[in-house]
Chains A and B, each alone.
Chain A
Amino acid sequence: DAKTTQPPSMDCAEGRAANLPCNHSTISGNEYVYWYRQIHSQGPQYIIHGLKNNETNEMASLIITEDRKSSTLILPHATLRDTAVYYCIVRPTGTASKLTFGTGTRLQVTL
């Protein structure tokens, strides 16, 4: 599985957009990019995933570069409840198994 690199921590002011970067330079053509987040003492929560096109849902937007070597998760209007550890994960197509978690980015949303 391709590895991902994320900054260990980021801060964001409440109401502003939070842009969380992820590098996955060894991603292969059949691997999706997934984003999860984990709020303290809870299980990881699925946010969004994509293959090569940009994706948007009610929680966030996912921007994947054309060469697919990096991506950005965008929370358009961060709130205090978005404070969490965010995980970027690369997962092969066709297997409903195995999300391999790294250490993620700890996002702190402040007033």
Chain B
Amino acid sequence: ETGVTQTPRHLVMGMTNKKSLKCEQHLGHNAMYWYKQSAKKPLELMFVYSLEERVENNSVPSRFSPECPNSSHLFLHLHTLQPEDSALYLCASSQDRSQGDLNVGSYNSPLHFGNGTRLTVT
């Protein structure tokens, strides 16, 4: 599925570098997510954006900085990372209930994931 595209697929960076991960969705969705998947651990939710506003930040260290300039694009800016930050970073999108939608309690849009960026911090 090519609905959610992440670049780069692989990234190696030193602890003093600054880099950014990019996610783009072509599904017309209005919510986007960052997840982290470390080796032998379940996926961990990092950030949620709905209608371009951050609605969740799961106690993620400040060396990870998300940016959502519009509903189709999501970035994760990285600086002064640690080796333990090496992981697969996954982006996802979904259709959130629109503001003013009075059909409360009925909306459940599946998340669609990209194939991730494999990050190695040296």
Contacts and interface: CB of A to CB of B under 8 A. Distances in A.
Interface in B103-122: 104-116, 118
Interface in A5-57: 30, 32, 34, 41-46, 49
Interface in A66-93: 91, 93
Range class of the A interface residue count: 20 to 34
Grouping DSSP codes into helix (H, G, I), strand (E, B) and loop, the A interface class, with mixed when no group exceeds half, is: loop
A96 interface: yes
B1 interface: yes
Interface of A: 30, 32, 34, 41-46, 49, 91, 93-94, 96-104
Interface of B: 1, 4, 31, 33, 42-43, 45, 48, 50, 55-56, 88, 90, 92, 94-97, 104-116, 118
